[in-house]
Amino acid sequence: MAKYIIKGGIRLDGKTEAESAKNAVLPLLAASVLTDGEVVIRNCPPILDVESMIRILRELGVKVRFEGKDLIVNSSSMHGYTIPYNLSKEMRSSVFMLGALISRFKIAEASYPGGCDIGLRPIDLHLHGLEQMGVKVDEAGGEIVCRAEKLKGGNIYFDFPSVGATENIILAAATAEGRTIIHNAAKEPEVEDLQNFLNSMGARVAGAGTSVITVDGVKKLHGTEYKPLFDRIEAGTYLVAAAATGGSVEISNCNAEKISALLHKLCENTCKITIKNDIIYLRSGSGRKSFNIETLPYPGFPTDMQAQMVALASVSEGISVIRENIFETRFKHVRELNRMGANIVVKDRVAIVNGVKELHGAKVAAHDLRGGAALMIAGLNARGTTVIEDVKHVERGYYKPEEKFRSLGADFVRV
């Protein structure tokens, strides 16, 4: 099992570039099966979640290959509509293959994606939305079978603005008969990226980025070439790492307005942030100050940056109160941070962080993707050596972090 060994206490300083967003590439890969034409997804990071999605597509007969960092997808010989158990267990976000497969085959089969370390993660909103479009959903023994004589547009109301459910319904509606209107849709930038991608294939999607999305079904979609949105969470992670080490970083391939909630919090922490075109430039202030966070659907503070900010708060002067409103159990990183000398108490969905001057190195383990990112940040701050186990969680969503952090001056190796 690979691990990271970090000798902390070094101020990060340098330049890096944000990858394309994991949470945009995954739905785009699902959308690519809606056409028999060739689809090119540019600048696609070969992270573990992308590789899992590629395995699912290949299992269904889709031809997928990397040319450099460009991913070429061809579904003309696609034959399957059953997402294999071992693959849907491996990655929750395989669930939005349902919408794409029903759109193409009028049938889709999948295993109930397991919960994971951040919460139960039910898919009731996905299935209820599909039923509104004429899909018959049968669930038995952890298996889901979705069938539709024909997909028809409808009015769909989400109790919660679920990102995955919004994407699933857009995928099912793209070639359905008539108009689908999604109310209380997720407004995340990755939903907007899916809209732009589908429209470049000839779909008619409008309103993404707002809470009402309208899809007018079309008969056929054609191939496309597309460069996905930047990974706002990866970029945010490097910004927080620079702040936690009292250093500075310049990140290109960004769009600052998509992470404004994070940038405001980093300014509260006393960072100096300047934006120039697609570059975000962060310089640490004289001393880190505490802050409070409520994680919320976009454009509120992103839950995917909560763990990283708990790590920053643990070495910021004063008391920070961080409430996780999106997932039930997304504080597995706290126990590990406290092993490094952090002073954090968790009560239900709130972490109370009493900042300390600096952390000390320790042997810790990643339990989930963003919790692992928090441990990288803590290790970069800590005096001494930190060993992070189970880094496969981190590599689901971060492309070669050991190389990127080394390019910023860190003493950081993967063994």
Enumerate the active-site residues. 116
Name the minimum Å distance from CB 36 to ligand EPZ. 25
Closer residue to ligand EPZ in complex, CB, 187/288:
187
3-class DSSP assignment, residue 378: helix
The upper half-sphere exposure of residue 347, i.e. CA atoms within 13 Å in the direction of its Cβ, equals 3
Helix axes 22-31, 97-105, angle to 10 degrees: 10
Name the minimum Å distance from CB 297 to ligand EPZ. 7
d(CA 53, CA 48): 9
The footprint of ligand EPZ (CB under 6 A) covers: 22-23, 26, 92-93, 119-126, 160, 162-165, 186, 190, 303-304, 326-327, 369-370, 397
Closer residue to ligand EPZ in complex, CB, 303/320:
303
Name the minimum Å distance from CB 202 to ligand EPZ. 24
The CB density around residue 220, as the number of other CB atoms within 10 Å, is 12
Closer residue to ligand EPZ in complex, CB, 164/217:
164
Name the minimum Å distance from CB 376 to ligand EPZ. 14
Residues 6+ positions from 104 with CB-CB distance below 8 Å: 33, 34, 75, 78, 81, 175
Burial 72-97 (b: 16+ CB within 10 A, else e): bbbbeebebbbbbeebbbbbbbbbbb
Name the minimum Å distance from CB 200 to ligand EPZ. 20
Task: Evaluate whether 342 touches 312 at the Cβ level (below 8 Å).
Answer: no
Residue with tokens 């085959």: 105
Closer residue to ligand EPZ in complex, CB, 95/201:
95
- Dihedral angle at the C-alpha atoms of 304, 271, 15, 298, nearest 10 degrees? 30
Closer residue to ligand EPZ in complex, CB, 326/340:
326
